[in-house]
Structure 1
Amino acid sequence: MDFSLSGLWREMGLFARLVVIVMGVMSLTSLLVLGERLVMSFKSMSDSKVFAAKMASLLANGDLDAAADAKFGKDIGYLGRTIRSGLVAYKGSVHGDKDLCFESVARALERQQARELAVLKRGHGWLATVGSTAPFVGLLGTVMGIVTAFEKMAASGSGGLGTVSAGIAEALITTAFGLLVAIPAVMAFNFLAGWVDARAVDISESSNEFLDLVARRLAEGPREEEEEEGEESEAAA
C-alpha cells in the first residue's frame, strides 16, 4: 500500500474524502477571515492614532464646537467614529440643561462604542466555530476509518495488519487534518480576541477623557456667559 498523501487519498472512502474536503474549506475560510481581520483592524488602529493626534490639538483649548465642525474625512478609525458621535451629540444638545447634555453625550459614546466593538469582532464567531468543531469533524472521519478497517477485515476473513492498515491510516489522517485546522483557528481567535479587548480599553479611556472635557466645558459655560454680559454692560456704560 502507498502511504503517501496521494496514495492515501486514493484509498480513502467517499465519506472520508468528504470529511477532508469539508475541513479544507474550513481551513481556507479561516485563513481568509484572519487575513481580512488583520488588515482591517490594524488599518483602523492606524487611522485612530492619526485622528487622536489631530483631535488633541483641537481640544487643547477646550473648544468642543470647533472640534465638532472639523472635517476629518471617512478614515478616522474606531476611535474617531466614537469621539465624533460624542461631538455630534454635544452640538445637538440643549446646553442650558447641563445634565441632559452630559447624559446625551454619554449615551452616544456608549452606543457607538458597542457598534465599533461589534465591527471589530466580526468574523470571530467563525474562527471560534472552526476551532471548536474541526477536531470533532476529524474524529468523525476517524470513526468511519475504523469502520472501514473492520469492514475489510470481515470481508477478508482475517485480521492481519495488512488488511486493516488502510482503514487505520485513513482514520489517523482525518484526525491529523482536524487538529491542523483547529489549532491555527484557535490561535487566531485568541489573538484577535485579546487585541479587541485592548482596543475596548482604549475606546473606554478616550470616551471617559472626552466626557471629563465635556463636564468641564459645561461647568465653565455659565461663567463665560456672565463675563460676556459684563463686558457688554461695561461697553454700553
Structure 2
Amino acid sequence: MEFVTKLIHAFSLKADAFLFMWAIMTTGVFALAIVIERFIYLTVRQGTSTELFVKNILSFIEKEDIPSAIVLCKKAKNMAIAGVLKAGLEDAGAGAERIKNTIDEAMLKMIPRLEQRTGYLAVIGNVATLLGLLGTVYGLIMSFAAVGKPGIDAAQKSELLASGIATAMNSTFLGLSVAITAIMVYSFLRAKTQRIVDELDEYSLRVMNTLVERSYKTHKYHISAAQLKEGVGLHITHNNIKIFTDNKMIKEINI
C-alpha cells in the first residue's frame, strides 16, 4: 500500500521526474485506445463463423445464385473475408483471369486494414521503456544534486539519497509496466491478424477456384463455321482460344 501511495505521489508537481511519469502515462493511454480498437475489429467484428460463412457462399455459387451470395457478403460487411469474396462474386460472369485478378486485388487492399495501427504498440513499448529510464536518470541527477548541497550531515545525506533513488525508480517501474503490457498485447494481436490472413488465403482460394471452374463450364464460345474450314487450327489454353490458319493467328478469344 505504501508503494502505491509513493507511486501516486510521483505524479505530483513536487516530485522529481513527474513530467516523465505523465509522459509514460500518456503513452499508456494511447496504447489502451489502440488495443480496444484493434480488439473490437479483429475479434468482435470478424466473428467466429468464417467457415460457415464461406460454406454458405459456396452453396449459393453451386446453385448459380450469385446475387444471393453478394447480398450475404454485404450483410457481413465487417468481416474481412466478406469484402474479398464480394469483389470476386461481382466479377463472377467475367473470365477466369479477371476473377483471379479481382480477388488478388481485394486481398492486397484488405491485409493493410487488418494490420493497421497494431505496429504502434511495439513502438509504444520501446518509447515507454526509454522514458522510464530517462525519468530515473533525471531523478537520480536531481537527488545527487540535493545531497551535494552544503550544510547537510552524513545521516541526512544517506536518507535523502535513499529516498531520492526510490522516487526516481518509479518512472522505470511505470515505463516497464506499460512496455511489457503493450508488447504482450502486440504479440497477441499480431498472432490474431496472421490467423485471419491465413483464413483469407485459404477461403478466398477455395471460392476463387469454384468461380473459375464455374466460368469454364458456363462460358460460351461462338466460332463461325466459316472459320473451321480445312486448314484452320485451334490452340486452347486455360484462359484463351487462338485460331490459326496457314500458321497465322486470325482470332483470339479470351476466357
**Do the two structures share a fold, i.e. TM-score over 0.5?**
yes
Q: Residues 140 and 197 of structure 1: is their aligned pair in 2 closer, same or farther, counting only changes over 3 Å?
A: same
1:204 aligned onto 2:205: no
Q: Quick check: which one's helix share is greater?
A: 1
Query: In structure 2, what is the equivalent of residue 147 of structure 1?
Result: 141
**If the length of structure 2 is used for normalisation, what is the TM-score?**
0.73
Query: In structure 2, what is the equivalent of residue 41 of structure 1?
Result: 42
Query: In structure 1, what is the equivalent of residue 28 of structure 2?
Result: 27
Q: Distance in 2 between matches of 1:65 and 1:74?
A: 14
Query: In structure 2, what is the equivalent of residue 134 of structure 1?
Result: 128
Number of aligned residue pairs: give it: 213
Q: Aligned letter for 2:133?
A: L
Q: Quick check: which one's strand share is greater?
A: 2
1:175 aligned onto 2:155: no
Query: In structure 2, what is the equivalent of residue 87 of structure 1?
Result: 89
Match runs of 1:104-115 below 5 Å: 104-115=98-109
Q: What per-residue deviation string (whole Å, max 9, x for no partner) do you get for residues 72-110 of structure 1?
A: 43433111110011112333x3xxxxxxx3232222212
Query: Which structure has the bigger radius of gyration?
Result: 2
Q: What per-residue deviation string (whole Å, max 9, x for no partner) do you get for residues 103-154 of structure 1?
A: 3222221222222221222221221111121111100001101101210121
Q: Residues 45 and 8 of structure 1: is their aligned pair in 2 closer, same or farther, counting only changes over 3 Å?
A: closer
Q: Distance in 1 between matches of 2:30 and 2:167?
A: 24
Identity of aligned residues (%): 21
CA contact (8 A) 2:60 2:69 kept: no
Give the C-alpha shift of residue 56 in structure 1.
3.0
Larger CA deviation: 196-205 vs 23-32:
23-32
Gaps of 5+ in 1: 94-100, 227-237
Q: What per-residue deviation string (whole Å, max 9, x for no partner) do you get for residues 11-39 of structure 1?
A: 512xx111111111111221222122112
Q: Residues 31 and 168 of structure 1: is their aligned pair in 2 closer, same or farther, counting only changes over 3 Å?
A: same
Q: What per-residue deviation string (whole Å, max 9, x for no partner) do you get for residues 173-210 of structure 1?
A: 11001011101100110000000001101000111112
**If the length of structure 1 is used for normalisation, what is the TM-score?**
0.78
CA contact (8 A) 1:147 1:167 kept: no
Q: Residues 211 and 75 of structure 1: is their aligned pair in 2 closer, same or farther, counting only changes over 3 Å?
A: closer
